[in-house]
Amino acid sequence: MPHEQTLDASLIAEIASKVPKLSRDDRETLIACLMARMKRHGQRLFYALYPDENETWQAPANKHFNPGSTIYARALYPKHLEFFRAGAKYRERCFMAANKVSKTLGGGGYETACHLTGLYPPWWEGRRFENPTRVWTAGKTNETTRDIIQATLLGEVAHRGQRKVMSGTGVVPGALLGDPSWKQGVQDLVDTIKVRHVSGGWSTLGLKSYQQGRGSFEGTSQHGIWLDEEPPLDVYGECLIRTATTDGIIMLTFTPLEGMSEVVMGFLPAEMRPQADS
């Protein structure tokens, strides 16, 4: 779009020519406005994903994109769209695929953000919850949960005055995040965080790890559980129970690095399951 670029460039040149004439106070206000704008844009990854056409990420760098990175058009992700659509029909879904194909960000992360916020995009054909949700997400260890899932959903740990908060530069829109509570005994791992839902209420996201054992998956009912790595069978069973009374959903996203576990096998059609020698 050369026209738009020329316009932008001439506008920038015009502003730049006026900046030296501004008072110091006005220059400081201008810089504060630009920084606030950059921060806002950095917290809007959710709205940038799955565009109609390829787009360029124009906000500050985050875990997944640098300024200038291409965010690919939705049509280039037919498997992801199929995964979402299947949610309207099936309670349990498994996205087993290669590394780096956007299972975490564009698969489980994106759908989790949809259910927490209620902000389903116009093209959404998957499962919908009309009211605020309770969602859990979990990875294998506390550290991978923090460094992969938490960073993808919520961004980085930041400080607001005395308080430790999340930067909101992940796929859950930063402007919708409440204050987190923190896990004991694990540096910088969120325990739960509220997310503003489109209805005006608050959803609740809880972070867990398989390392904490099956027992830590007992408790309240959940509308959604996203497991970003293959869970042990006992944890998976507990997740089924947690989502039974809400007619909730379970999303599994992972690359099968450890052969065929019992949980994976349950998702495979019979002819694809390895046969035991008799």
Name the 3-class secondary structure at 262.
helix
Our CB check for ligand ADP shows the closer of 65 and 217 to be: 65
186 binds, among ligand ADP, Mg ion, none (CB under 5 to 8 A by kind): none
64 binds, among Mg ion, ligand ADP, none (CB under 5 to 8 A by kind): ligand ADP
Residue number, nearest CB to Mg ion: 104
Residue 55-94 contact track with Mg ion, rule CB under 5 A, x = bound: ----------------------------------------
**How many helices (H) does the chain have, and how many strands (E)?**
9, 11
Our CB check for Mg ion shows the closer of 107 and 180 to be: 107
Rounded distance between C-alpha atoms, residue 106 and residue 154, angstroms: 14
Our CB check for ligand ADP shows the closer of 229 and 238 to be: 229
Q: How far is the CB of 1 from ligand ADP (least distance, A)?
A: 20
Tokens 């109609």, located at residue: 52
Our CB check for ligand ADP shows the closer of 103 and 115 to be: 103
Phi, psi of 27, rounded to the nearest 5 degrees:
-65, -40
Contact segment (CB under 5 A) with Mg ion among 3-11, 71-79, 101-109, 244-252 equals 101-109
Cβ atoms 234, 260 nearer than 8 A: no
Is position 152 an interface residue for Mg ion (rule: CB under 5 A)? no
Our CB check for Mg ion shows the closer of 145 and 169 to be: 145
Phi, psi of 137, rounded to the nearest 5 degrees:
-135, 150
Is position 104 an interface residue for Mg ion (rule: CB under 5 A)? yes
Q: How far is the CB of 16 from ligand ADP (least distance, A)?
A: 32
Catalytic residue at 229?
A: yes
Give the max Cα distance, the chain: 87
Cβ atoms 165, 184 nearer than 8 A: no
Rounded distance between C-alpha atoms, residue 59 and residue 40, angstroms: 9
Residues of this chain that bind ligand ADP (CB under 6 A): 49, 64-65, 70-72, 99-106
For the record, the structure tokens of 255 come out as 């690359």
Contact segment (CB under 5 A) with Mg ion among 96-104, 186-194, 200-208, 270-278 equals 96-104
Tokens 């992801």, located at residue: 80
The DSSP element (H or E) to which 2 belongs, if any, is helix 2-18
Cβ atoms 38, 174 nearer than 8 A: no
Chain residues that interact with Mg ion, rule: CB under 5 A: 104
Active site residues: 229
